[in-house]
Amino acid sequence: MSSPLPDVLPIKPFTRPVRGEVTLPGSKSLTNRALLLAALCDRPVTLTGALFSEDTHLMGEALRKLGFTITADEAAHTIEVSGQENGFKSDAPVNIFVGLAGTAARFLTALCAAARRGVYRIDGIPQMRKRPMKGLIDALRSLGADIRCTRDEGFFPIEIHAKALRGGRVEIDASESSQMLSALLMVSPLTKDMLEISVSTHVRQPFVQMTKRQMAEFGLGSSSPSLNSNIIYAPSGSYNYSGNYLIEPDATAASYFLALPLVTAGELYIPKLKGPGFGLQGDTQFINVLRQVGLIASPRKDPPDRFGCETIHGLNVAYDKPAHRIGVDQNFSEFSDTFLTLAAIAPLLTGPTRITGIAHSRKQETDRVAGMVRELRKLGQDVDEHADGDGLTITPRPLKADVEIDTYGDHRFAMSFGILGCHDLHGNGQPWLSIKNPACCAKTFPHFFELLESKRLESLNPAAA
């Protein structure tokens, strides 16, 4: 077991280019979706390559409280979901704690509202009580759910008196989080009538498409096409998957190790990671952003077989021209979790970096736009926070040293600036940047800093990489 992280962690820079291989944890988004979908199957399902983190632990514990059997083997990265026939059988109210896990919060709210019986009380930490839930609550109520906000209307904590959902036509505002639409889609087989969802505002499509594709992998037919792009007809039928289900490596977690070769002028191989368009996760689009900056990314694959099919084993990423890292202009509306990775390394790029499409990220774990502006300015950077609240422009200036980065309890701040700290600012390997509360990475990537340090040590001994 690794040692606990200090309250403030100085980042040791790389003095030599990064080399070797990085094995990423499984996707949080896919693991939590798969846990819910497996609970809705009628036979045991084992998730392989699953993520073990705070968010997935909270999801698993909630399903246990709801009566399902969750058997986890962290060393093997497997989670078995079984005992589906015992779900939602409690006569006593069930108290569910979701911490700050947005996926668990939205998915479990929809799941409990779709149950045929029972009382379910769902709450999280104070920050979770500020995160958007109203769009989902309103949609579920319109389908007949009895949901009572016991503190502030539209927010946690909530109490659900389950009596099933009737189905039919429903409108949802999921502009603040696509997880609300995904939650509604995943429980649609439980509604009495087929669900017809009217999406009233723009929704970030990659995560919704990921949800629909994962539902299909669990045995639910594809949804009927619609002539109106704002109407989604939920698939009919039931989930019927059994056996092993493989979880892809986390594409958002990959963003940090995709950026590391840019920062250290090195190269890495990331097994099982697929490029844009080949896997389920929309955040792989970040690979194309880094290609604009100067990263070389190419799949490692077998030659085509006799049918012309290629097997992709992972991604090689490389960068060896530190004088030619180029600032970019990018809209992140469809893969916003990765904008912090680019913003954090923007001080190392040539010319301004303009990031847009991120207004909704102000209502995630923290106000990610305002937080990024504050931390970059502490580092001496020229940062323009756009007047419309939807973006920022970073113009590189000489980096200030001896800076402590506030993470706001947000794992993505910790990891993004952890990568920047790998830059050898003084040319002598001495730390110049420290991360406050690095343990917040436990939310999605518990061993991030341990893995980062192992790659630094490997770079000092390339033969061992």
> Hey, which residues are catalytic here?
337
Residue among 360, 353, 358, 361 at smallest CA distance from 393: 353
Determine the Cα–Cα distance for residues 196 and 133; give it in Å rounded to an integer. 20
CA 48 to CA 45: how far, in whole Å? Answer: 10
Phi, psi (degrees; rounded to nearest 5) at 434: -125, 150
Both tokens of 463, joined, read: 């033969």
State the Cα–Cα distance between residues 142 and 450, nearest whole angstrom. Answer: 47
Rounded distance between C-alpha atoms, residue 63 and residue 65, angstroms: 5
Phi, psi values for residue 315, rounded to 5°: -130, 130
How far is 426 from 385, CA to CA, in rounded Å? 29
Compute the distance between CA of residue 441 and CA of residue 449 in angstroms, rounded to an integer.
9
E strands, 302-343, are 312-318, 329-331
Which of left, alpha, beta for 2 (phi over 0: left; psi -120 to 50: alpha)?
beta
The answer to whether the beta carbons of residues 186 and 211 sit under 8 Å apart is: yes
- The pair phi, psi for residue 367, each rounded to 5°, is -75, 95
Enumerate residues 6+ apart whose C-beta is below 8 A from 375. 405, 406, 413, 417
What is the spatial distance between Cα 380 and Cα 402, in angstroms, rounded to a whole number?
A: 11
Give CA–CA dist 417/395, Å, rounded.
Answer: 17
